[in-house]
């Protein structure tokens, strides 16, 4: 993309160019916000309107699916070097760097952000992972991870699935007054920018979706949002943040600059260009600090497919059948009653008294009778509910075994594992897609730490180094498909088979077994045992050498 020169006299022109690109990227954001608000309501409450329903099947189905796509406790990373960067010294550092990245995955809360990203990508189609290095007061940096909702993110071309192929991306963020004052503390136009911030009028009304629906049409000049959480029946929370303070909207546009030969980052409000910097001053040059997480990607549509869209008709169908079945149960407990024959003096009070438990009513006329018409619930009604539940599982691309239910015809544990392996192939394919995206997230964290971190690491051979000395072309990979529980059993069996064949040693077993509790403790004790064996072996060799040389190992005996 072409931008006016980076010069003070072209500042307004650069702002207008960035603002135009932002409007292009965020053009579909208001419509996507509406769609995602409906999907969120269906996911949380089972209805598009957000009203209560008797049974919400969408949430447990998608949560279970997300748990098979990403396992927070078992994922392990390793670092891969390119062939032209491979050398003996870096090979000695590989294990230490891999351990450091695994620790960083948890320290930066990327493990939790990835879990939420995978879960909510099944709802909204996609979520955006964001990592950056924040400066501390002691001039050091800390790498932190964030999660961006898709309605607050935009891309240049929505028909291109890959984020790294986009010419520009835009992120809309919302900040309070104190946050803005801290952001602009050293800005030369601080007073002018703060004075020019526009707020929503105090009587703007109730906004039930403070963050998701905050992207009003971009033709509006209003750049702030307010909202009050509405009351919900039954005391249920509506899961909307209550923000008593006014929030101001800022945009951060990252666009490729042909003149710069790198990405440029524009930070601006509705009226002012706040910061205009090359990406290399904020993050890793040539690499977006964003990663798209999508459990079900679609060719030709960046935002992916939502699992809610497939399950919503089944949820509506199931809710309708449950409501009718509940009505039948009510008629069984309080069946319709009719008085047959001549009746005199029948009043509403007498009927109400009669309908109570052990109620008695004198008809007073010969030939009169009371009959109850109690409906019968056919077995087919329950069979249909069971069929609808199976439709939920099938539509989500899962198997009954994934919900702890027995598969028909399965008699042994081996058969159950085979059914799960074959029947869960669709979920395994999605898990591999998530695995690739998590590798991009971990690689981004590695490159940020390599650029900004000065922590010294020590390799097993005693070398002391920093990540900046490690090759920049290294990439982080998920070790042995450890990101998904669907691969864990196969992975464990492979590890034990290699151990029986003598291909790997004890330390490798501890490193490769997924979800091993107290892994570090076992490795420490194994190292102690190795050291004790080495000392004992050295003492034994010394004693044998002394015997060969005719020396006595112990004190001389008295004559």
- Round the average pLDDT of the chain to a whole number and report it: 81
Write down the residue that tokens 């009746």 correspond to.
343
Most confident residue range from 74-78, 166-170, 423-427: 166-170
Report percent pLDDT > 70 for the chain. Answer: 78
DSSP state of 520: H
Lowest average pLDDT, out of 60-69, 189-198, 501-510, goes to 501-510
The confidence score (pLDDT) of residue 382 equals 79
Residue 356 vs residues 351, 352, 353, 368: alpha-carbon distances, Å: 9, 7, 6, 20
Question: pLDDT class for 486, splitting at 50, 70, 90?
Answer: low
Closest CA to 289 of 298, 300, 281: 281
Give the sign of the dihedral formed by CA 333, CA 338, CA 343, CA 347. Answer: positive
Beta bridge mates, 255: 168, 264
Q: What is the mean pLDDT of residues 465-494?
A: 79
The residue that leads in pLDDT, 339 or 332, is 332
Residue 279, Cβ density class (10 Å: 0-12 exposed, 13-18 middle, ≥19 buried): buried
Element (H, E) at 369: strand 369-372
The answer to whether residue 444 scores a pLDDT higher than 80 is: yes
Q: What is the mean pLDDT of residues 419-444?
A: 84
Q: What is the mean pLDDT of residues 9-27?
A: 94
pLDDT by residue (tens digit) across 149-166?
A: 999 999 999 999 999 999
The residue that leads in pLDDT, 330 or 411, is 330
The residue that leads in pLDDT, 413 or 184, is 184
The confidence score (pLDDT) of residue 222 equals 39
Q: What is the mean pLDDT of residues 390-412?
A: 71
Q: What is the mean pLDDT of residues 443-462?
A: 92
Residue 215, Cβ density class (10 Å: 0-12 exposed, 13-18 middle, ≥19 buried): buried
pLDDT by residue (tens digit) across 22-42?
A: 999 999 999 999 999 999 999
* pTM (two decimals): 0.78
The answer to whether residue 276 scores a pLDDT higher than 80 is: yes
Closest CA to 448 of 284, 285, 287: 284
The confidence score (pLDDT) of residue 226 equals 45
Q: What 3-state DSSP class applies to 350?
A: helix
The confidence score (pLDDT) of residue 202 equals 35
* Secondary structure string (H, E, C) spanning 28-94: CHHHHHHHHHHHHHHHHHCCCCCCCCCCCCHHHHHHHHHHHHCCCCCCCEEEECCHHHCCHHHHHHH
Phi and psi, residue 294, nearest 5°: -145, 120
The confidence score (pLDDT) of residue 215 equals 35
Closest CA to 453 of 108, 112, 79: 108
pLDDT by residue (tens digit) across 118-159?
A: 999 999 999 999 999 998 888 889 999 999 999 999 999 999
The confidence score (pLDDT) of residue 210 equals 31
How far is it, in rounded angstroms, from Cα 298 to Cα 444?
24
pLDDT by residue (tens digit) across 177-226?
A: 888 888 888 888 888 888 877 664 333 333 333 333 333 333 334 344 44
Residue 333 vs residues 54, 328, 329, 370, 375: alpha-carbon distances, Å: 19, 9, 6, 17, 10
pLDDT by residue (tens digit) across 522-546?
A: 776 777 787 788 888 888 888 888 8
Question: pLDDT class for 303, splitting at 50, 70, 90?
Answer: very high
Most confident residue range from 297-301, 350-354, 549-553: 297-301
């Amino acid at each position: 993309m072409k931008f006016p020169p980076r010069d003070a006299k072209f500042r307004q022109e650069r702002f207008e160019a960035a603002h135009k690109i932002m409007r292009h990227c965020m053009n579909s954001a208001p419509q996507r916000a509406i769609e995602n608000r409906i999907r969120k309501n269906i996911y949380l409450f089972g209805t598009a309107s957000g009203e209560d329903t008797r049974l919400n099947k969408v949430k447990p189905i998608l949560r279970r699916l997300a748990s098979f796509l990403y396992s927070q406790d078992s994922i392990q990373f390793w670092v891969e070097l390119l062939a032209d960067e491979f050398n003996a010294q870096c090979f000695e550092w590989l294990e230490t760097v891999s351990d450091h990245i695994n620790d960083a995955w948890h320290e930066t809360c990327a493990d939790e952000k990835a879990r939420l990203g995978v879960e909510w990508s099944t709802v909204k189609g996609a979520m955006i992972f964001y990592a950056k290095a924040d400066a501390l007061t002691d001039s050091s940096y800390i790498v932190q991870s964030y999660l961006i909702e898709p309605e607050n993110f935009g891309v240049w071309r929505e028909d291109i699935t890959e984020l790294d192929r986009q010419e520009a991306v835009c992120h809309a963020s919302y900040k309070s007054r104190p946050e803005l004052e801290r952001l602009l503390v050293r800005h030369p136009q601080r007073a002018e920018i703060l004075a020019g911030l526009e707020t929503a009028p105090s009587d703007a009304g109730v906004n039930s979706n403070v963050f998701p629906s905050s992207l009003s049409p971009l033709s509006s000049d209003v750049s702030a949002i307010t909202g009050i959480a509405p009351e919900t029946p039954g005391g249920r929370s509506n899961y909307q943040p209550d923000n008593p303070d006014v929030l101001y909207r800022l945009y951060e546009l990252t666009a490729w600059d042909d003149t710069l030969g790198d990405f440029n980052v524009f930070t601006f409000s509705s009226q002012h260009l706040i910061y205009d910097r090359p990406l290399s001053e904020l993050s890793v040059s040539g690499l977006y600090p964003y990663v798209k997480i999508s459990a079900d990607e679609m060719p030709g549509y960046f935002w992916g497919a939502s699992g809610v869209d497939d399950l919503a008709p089944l949820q509506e169908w199931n809710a309708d059948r449950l409501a009718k079945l509940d009505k039948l149960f009510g008629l069984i407990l309080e069946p319709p009653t009719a008085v047959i024959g001549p009746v005199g003096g029948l009043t509403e009070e007498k009927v109400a008294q009669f309908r109570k438990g052990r109620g008695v009513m004198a008809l007073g006329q010969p030939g009169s009778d009371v009959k109850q018409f109690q409906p019968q619930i056919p077995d087919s009604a329950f069979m249909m509910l069971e069929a609808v539940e199976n439709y939920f599982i099938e539509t989500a691309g899962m198997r009954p075994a994934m919900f702890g239910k027995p598969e028909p015809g399965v008699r042994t544990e081996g058969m159950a594992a085979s059914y799960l392996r074959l029947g869960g192939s669709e979920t395994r394919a999605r898990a591999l897609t998530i695995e690739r995206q998590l590798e991009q997230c971990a690689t981004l964290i590695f490159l940020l730490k390599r650029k900004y971190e000065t922590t010294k690491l020590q390799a097993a051979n005693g070398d002391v180094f920093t990540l900046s000395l490690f090759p920049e072309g290294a990439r982080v990979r998920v070790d042995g498909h450890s990101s998904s529980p669907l691969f864990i059993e196969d992975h464990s069996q492979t590890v034990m088979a290699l151990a029986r064949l003598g291909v790997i040693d004890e330390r490798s077993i501890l490193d490769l077994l997924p979800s091993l509790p107290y892994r570090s403790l076992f490795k420490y004790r194994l190292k102690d045992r190795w050291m004790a064996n080495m000392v004992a072996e050295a003492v034994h060799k010394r004693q044998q050498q002394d015997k060969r040389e005719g020396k006595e190992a112990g004190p001389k005996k008295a004559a």
